[in-house]
Chains A and B, each alone.
Chain A
């Protein structure tokens, strides 16, 4: 019997396999002494090595996550405990805490809006775009496709440094005497277009715009590289249909970013002309203090169209990398091939396509034609189909698997839970009729935080726990990881689940205080509960940060190349992966990435040629 033969057939060590079947590109004859990483600056700072750039993106993203998360705690305290004194925050926030004659400190309303705006901007762009896609695309694309590095290491380095400068400028705007921009992360005109509209609309908005334009440059430089690398630098045998799913996800993410971020640049270009030159693309008939402004003939709806043409693909730019990471982590830890590999790829492509034709569902209440809204409703609801295919396949992958419960797989499973919970409310919000009640309420806040905020974070955590040994040669502490998982899972649901009820009752988002709305008075207790849950959940994230940095230096050491018995190429590199990734020849690929539990063999790496008596292959 074929199976019996195979289980006893010796599987060669990966070094031997690479030596026998590998592909000699003469890389190391040309690169003695690793001149690109020879000193501190070129190794750790202006590194052109994709693995180091990935770590730079990750750690910068973590810093931003802490800042952005802490901001949410401050405005949650205002919402949950408006009567409590916040005087103790004055050393940090300074004049943004107003202290009355009784010594009671309150958050200044303008700064509340600034915090909400910055929280959104930071989390969406700096953490979940740069921190997620930037980290894992950089780390995994060359390693998983068998490349020495990115197509253009120089552009790759510039991508990080544009991100860094962009972040520095945004950070500087926090310290302006007029405060950072406060008109919401979407920066709708007129609040964004008129410097005199509110405090943050002046210098704050100028810095915000400059920062985001630099950020777009960073995303494009990165994305161009990811696309070119995937298309051009795959090793021999690595056909597109043998790519591991994370690579498909990063590839499509990069395409989305490449097609949508330039549109945001165009929107900002016209916005800057309105602000600086005095044109009227977005402005018309505005009265300030009774006096009419010169601007005539513009339309803020135009900005909304341009913004959401980026804005909607942006949510998929955030969630697709998480899809890919979760698919890989689930398959490895369930010891089963991913269920429906091709369906997974096609559903990623379908979601990416649909992402471009649904933007106006963010504008149902902005005064668009209801007949046109119908098309957007239909396309929006169709997204549920490929999403459901993916969810079904993840669950089918887990079904009957010999599941290893470690932090990575727990977060991957948690991701599926979050994605279902948040995805279902998306079907509600996709209806333009239901939107009349639900738009701009906490229902929307709950929906997008669960489906793209928390879910994307879960994908990111799954990735960090899973590939930490590849990054640092050590494991993260598993007990702390599991504690982190359960705290985050329960905490996140405690924070965002109750918000659905607030939203259905009509509680509007972005309000500083509900004192003047008696009808919302009975939600005081719920708001307190949410705030407390948010603080506790944030505490669990600090646990992760501690675990992360502690493990870099003190974690359990990696002793084997392939600790998870995984199939993909990154686990055939040495534990201390140097520049060029493989010390000798480049591995060649003989099969797809998901031969787990095949013919009675636990796993068959991609570099293993088809063996005698094996059943049909990919």
Chain B
């Protein structure tokens, strides 16, 4: 669809060293960051005005943090295997990443259940509602990443692995986004742990 500006994009990339599509993604990520900054700021403002239920975050969320951090690592390994055109390793790592991503969602769901079980169900106090809503919104962004990963898993098995600029760019775009949802979760879990 977008081959029509390719020539100019190529020239621009040579000059600026950042591919415009990566730039598009970086700029888009900035706006997503603003969304979460808004929510965590709202959290701070709301907490300061009292009537706030204090509780501890279920341990499962911390375990899950390790899961998503690991998935970033495996994606990085997949990228390395891709660059070296090692098809078997690439397939293995990209599938592992997808599995870890899905595992993250499942564990998040269990985390929400654990939170409700420890006496903080939805609607009892904004303190709990914030944890739910912020992690829901984050999970929605993880779903987007999983969709992209799923496509690359399918392509990994359908296409013969060849390192072309277009395919490397696609993989790198997915990688940037996945690292973003990872770091975002790290920020959120640290924020939610410290703000109590």
- Listed in ascending order, the chain A residues whose CB lies under 8 Å from chain B are 25-27, 30-31, 36, 48, 147-155, 220, 223-225, 227-229, 231-233, 258-263, 265-267, 269-270, 273, 277-281, 294, 296-299, 302, 305-306, 309, 579-580, 586
> When A233-B20, A269-B133 are in contact, do A262 and B4 touch as well, CB less than 8 Å?
no
B60 interface residue per 8 A CB criterion: no
Stretch in contact with the other chain, from B77-85, B123-131, B149-157, B164-172: B123-131
Would you list which residues of chain B between 113 and 133 have a CB under 8 Å from chain A?
122-123, 125-126, 129-130, 133
B116 to chain A, nearest CB (A): 14
> When A262-B34, A262-B38 are in contact, do A302 and B23 touch as well, CB less than 8 Å?
no
Return the contact of A266 from the options B7, B8, B42 (Cβ within 8 A).
B42
Question: Looking across the interface, which residue of chain B has its beta carbon closest to that of A273?
Answer: B133
B106 interface residue per 8 A CB criterion: no
Interface string of B18-58 (1 = CB under 8 A from A): 10110110011011101111110010011001011000000
- Listed in ascending order, the chain B residues whose CB lies under 8 Å from chain A are 1-9, 11-13, 16, 18, 20-21, 23-24, 27-28, 30-32, 34-39, 42, 45-46, 49, 51-52, 122-123, 125-126, 129-130, 133, 137
Whether the Cβ atoms of A258 and B30 lie closer than 8 Å is yes
Return the contact of B126 from the options A227, A258, A281, A305 (Cβ within 8 A).
A281
8 pairs from A and B in contact (CB 8 Å cutoff): A149-B5, A151-B21, A153-B5, A263-B34, A263-B38, A279-B133, A306-B38, A586-B8
CB neighbours of B123 from chain A (8 A): 277-280, 294
Return the contact of B46 from the options A148, A227, A229, A299 (Cβ within 8 A).
A299
CB neighbours of B3 from chain A (8 A): 30
State A90–B11 Cα separation when bound (angstroms). 61
> When A25-B7, A258-B31, A267-B38 are in contact, do A155 and B16 touch as well, CB less than 8 Å?
no
The 4 closest A-B pairs by CB, nearest first: A266-B38, A262-B35, A263-B38, A262-B34
Whether the Cβ atoms of B23 and A232 lie closer than 8 Å is yes
CB neighbours of A155 from chain B (8 A): 24
Return the contact of A262 from the options B5, B9, B31, B49 (Cβ within 8 A).
B31
Whether the Cβ atoms of B133 and A270 lie closer than 8 Å is yes
Whether the Cβ atoms of B129 and A281 lie closer than 8 Å is yes
CB neighbours of B37 from chain A (8 A): 263
State A401–B2 Cα separation when bound (angstroms). 45
State A270–B46 Cα separation when bound (angstroms). 13
> When A152-B2, A273-B129 are in contact, do A262 and B32 touch as well, CB less than 8 Å?
yes
Whether the Cβ atoms of A302 and B45 lie closer than 8 Å is yes
Question: Looking across the interface, which residue of chain A has its beta carbon closest to that of B51?
Answer: A297
CB neighbours of A281 from chain B (8 A): 42, 46, 126, 129-130, 133
Whether the Cβ atoms of B2 and A153 lie closer than 8 Å is yes
State A306–B42 Cα separation when bound (angstroms). 8
Return the contact of B20 from the options A151, A306, A580 (Cβ within 8 A).
A151
> When A261-B31, A263-B35, A266-B35 are in contact, do A148 and B8 touch as well, CB less than 8 Å?
yes
Whether the Cβ atoms of B42 and A149 lie closer than 8 Å is no
B139 to chain A, nearest CB (A): 13
CB neighbours of B11 from chain A (8 A): 25
Whether the Cβ atoms of A269 and B137 lie closer than 8 Å is yes
State A260–B52 Cα separation when bound (angstroms). 28
Kindly list 16 other residue pairs between chains A and B, CB separation below 8 angstroms, not including A233-B20, A266-B39, A296-B51.
A25-B7, A151-B9, A151-B20, A151-B23, A153-B4, A220-B31, A225-B24, A231-B16, A258-B30, A260-B34, A266-B35, A269-B133, A273-B129, A278-B123, A306-B38, A309-B38
State A227–B123 Cα separation when bound (angstroms). 40
CB neighbours of B18 from chain A (8 A): 232
> When A224-B31, A258-B31, A297-B125 are in contact, do A25 and B24 touch as well, CB less than 8 Å?
no
Whether the Cβ atoms of A27 and B23 lie closer than 8 Å is no
> When A152-B21, A306-B38 are in contact, do A259 and B129 touch as well, CB less than 8 Å?
no
Question: Looking across the interface, which residue of chain B has its beta carbon closest to that of A219?
Answer: B31
State A579–B5 Cα separation when bound (angstroms). 11
CB neighbours of A150 from chain B (8 A): 5
